[in-house]
Chains A and B, each alone.
Chain A
Amino acid sequence: GENVEQHPSTLSVQEGDSAVIKCTYSDSASNYFPWYKQELGKGPQLIIDIRSNVGEKKDQRIAVTLNKTAKHFSLHITETQPEDSAVYFCAASRRAAGNKLTFGGGTRVLVKP
């Protein structure tokens, strides 16, 4: 089955700096890669996603890149703000498997004012 590795497990950045989280996946058939943000006491919330026919996607301060050959994808947050502090999860899925998500272990991001 699919296996997703996520690094780093914790990340501390100064407000205004950039944050980068990296994930690798094992199943070359995976074709959908969402990123979720989880704040304390809440459920995961989708912040951006990318499909395997696209190499990069951007939404304001958030961007995701995908390298299918290397089987890795990354989340980039620019101009970080204190409200970006949360746990971030990457995930992978494929339609043939019912789109069930396989998650990485999560990255706890702390943005210091």
Chain B
Amino acid sequence: EAGVTQFPSHSVIEKGQTVTLRCDPISGHDNLYWYRRVMGKEIKFLLHFVKESKQDESGMPNNRFLAERTGGTYSTLKVQPAELEDSGVYFCASSQVTSTWAETQYFGPGTRLLVL
């Protein structure tokens, strides 16, 4: 079974440009999360989808970030316009919806974004 995939693996852009990150969750996983780790700091939650619906976007830094999950399959995270402080590693994770206490989240390899 394929794991969570993310594209691109690396992206270097200039300040003011737009970048779109893509995440393909594990097939059948309705939960999809985006996280970010900026230089040397902890991994921080950005937002959570259940299927195509945004359940929680409390971690989104500002309105320059837009996440979508059309059709409840893959998700995109667009940053427009990018700023220097947006540099970091963006992780996507997915999990099944179950009735248990918590569902294991499986992480993708991340997209390393550098804004110059």
Are A100 and B48 neighbours in the complex by a CB distance under 8 Å? yes
Instruction: Find B45's partner among A6, A32, A102, A105 (CB 8 Å cutoff).
Output: A102
Which label, helix, strand, loop or mixed, suits the secondary structure of the B interface? strand
Mark out the residues of chain B between 1 and 44 whose CB falls within 8 Å of any chain A CB in the assembled complex: 4, 6, 31, 33, 35, 41-44
Kindly state whether residue A36 has any CB partner on chain B within 8 Å. yes
Are A44 and B107 neighbours in the complex by a CB distance under 8 Å? yes
B76 to chain A, nearest CB (A): 18
A42 to chain B, nearest CB (A): 6
A-B Cβ contacts below 8 A, count: 68
Mark out the residues of chain B between 82 and 116 whose CB falls within 8 Å of any chain A CB in the assembled complex: 91, 93, 95, 101-110
Are B95 and A103 neighbours in the complex by a CB distance under 8 Å? no
- Please, which residue of chain B has its CB at the minimum distance from the CB of A91? B43
Are B101 and A46 neighbours in the complex by a CB distance under 8 Å? no
Q: Which residues of B are at the interface with A, using a C-beta cutoff of 8 A?
A: 4, 6, 31, 33, 35, 41-45, 48, 50, 55-56, 59, 91, 93, 95, 101-110
- 21 A-B pairs in the complex with CB atoms less than 8 angstroms apart: A4-B42, A31-B101, A31-B102, A32-B101, A36-B107, A41-B109, A43-B108, A44-B43, A44-B91, A89-B42, A95-B102, A98-B55, A98-B56, A99-B105, A100-B45, A101-B33, A101-B35, A101-B45, A101-B93, A101-B105, A103-B35
Known interface pairs A31-B101, A97-B56, A105-B41; 19 further A-B residue pairs with C-beta atoms within 8 A, sorted by A's residue number: A6-B42, A34-B104, A36-B107, A43-B91, A43-B108, A44-B43, A45-B107, A51-B102, A52-B101, A98-B55, A99-B31, A100-B45, A100-B48, A101-B45, A102-B45, A103-B43, A103-B44, A104-B42, A105-B42
